[in-house]
Amino acid sequence: MNKFYIQIALFLLSIFAYANNETFAAETAPGEDTKHQLRSRFPTPEEVYEKNKHLLCDFAIRSTVPELMNEAVKQLEYYATSKDGYEVYRQSPNDSISYYVKKIDDKTNILKVHLNIYASSQYNAIVNRLWDPNSPNIFNKGHAKVARVYSPNLIGICQFYPKGSKSYQKYFTAFVKKAEISKDKTIIAMTSSNSTDRNHPDIKYKNPALKNAYLISESTIPKDYDINEQYQIIHVNLAGYLIEKKGDDLEITYIESIDGHSSI
């Protein structure tokens, strides 16, 4: 089975494990030993912000990045809800998990994964989990580090993939924004700027999915990271989630277009 499908299955299991753990925690009497329980909650965006407040950027940068990320949110919602140009890649018999692929140009694809699960009560927990850089990442394996904060709902991250058989390790830097569209609908959008790594400062990247990304060259590489020739930078054209409650169901749509990486 493709590793990507395994990741989806593990994610679904984790949702129900979380729900069961919340029930167990509620039923556990005060004073009982709970150290072996599963993680019962994920930090809120405000808690993530407070933890990393020392990384707050100056006003000049904050004034340009939000404009880009507002566009990223709109584009992610478009790609998550539109059916134009998508071809079915794989679909489960009961339609609970569907995979689609769409071509933007000859070199760029958009992957869309749609999950429909009976877990609307876990809406807030899932939003917090998908936002938290330190929580297990469902689709992009590796480890992420917060490198910039602009507001509780807008941060900059640097994410490193597990090193494969090749001599280099892939990583990307990106801005991430959470937008609450309504009380039952949240979008988390991510995109890279046109900055490149420290080894090739003269090479600029043009984003085919988000045209205005070229206007920002701000890098989110943590200062304490030694980026050398063993690392290869890749770029997030557009990625993220549309999370929505519909009755008792929770619908999660994942969008991915990353130059240099594909989950399938």
List, for residues 153-177, the tens digit of each pLDDT value: 999 998 888 776 666 788 888 999 9
133 has pLDDT over 90: no
Tell me which residue has tokens 């890649």.
Answer: 89
Asked if residues 130 and 113 have their Cβ atoms less than 8 Å apart, the reply is no
What is the residue type of 200? Answer: H
- What's the pLDDT at 118? 81
What pLDDT is recorded for position 65?
Answer: 84
Residue 19 has pLDDT above 80, yes or no: no
Determine the pLDDT at residue 75. 95
- The pLDDT value recorded for residue 137 is 65
Listed ranges 23-32, 154-163, 227-236; the one with the highest mean pLDDT: 154-163
> What three-state secondary structure class fits 53?
helix
Where is mean pLDDT largest: 33-37, 77-81, 104-108?
77-81
What mean pLDDT is predicted for residues 123-139?
84
Residue 117's DSSP bridge partners are: 250
**How far is it, in rounded angstroms, from Cα 188 to Cα 151?**
14
Q: For residue 81, what pLDDT is reported?
A: 96
CA-nearest of 41, 205, 70 to 150 is: 70
Average pLDDT of the residues in 149-155: 93
SS3 category, 118 = coil
Closest among 178, 191, 222 to 52, alpha carbons compared: 222
Do 210 and 237 contact (CB within 8 A), yes or no?
Answer: yes
CATH number for the domain formed by residue range(s) 42-259 = 3.30.530.20
Greater pLDDT, 118 or 60 = 118
Confidence at 143, pLDDT banded by 50, 70, 90: confident
**pLDDT, average across residues 112-141:** 84
Please give the average per-residue pLDDT across 175-201, as a whole number.
84
Q: In this predicted structure, what is the pLDDT of residue 166? A: 66
Greater pLDDT, 201 or 172: 172
The pLDDT score that the predictor gives to residue 36 is 35
Distance CA 90, CA 240 (A): 20
Distance CA 191, CA 176 (A): 7
Residue 24 confidence class, pLDDT cut points 50, 70, 90 = very low
Residue with the larger pLDDT of the pair 97 and 184: 184
The more confident residue out of 36 and 189 is: 189
Question: 57 forms bridges with which residues in the sheet?
Answer: none
Centre a 10 Å sphere on the Cβ of residue 72 and count the other Cβ atoms it contains. 29
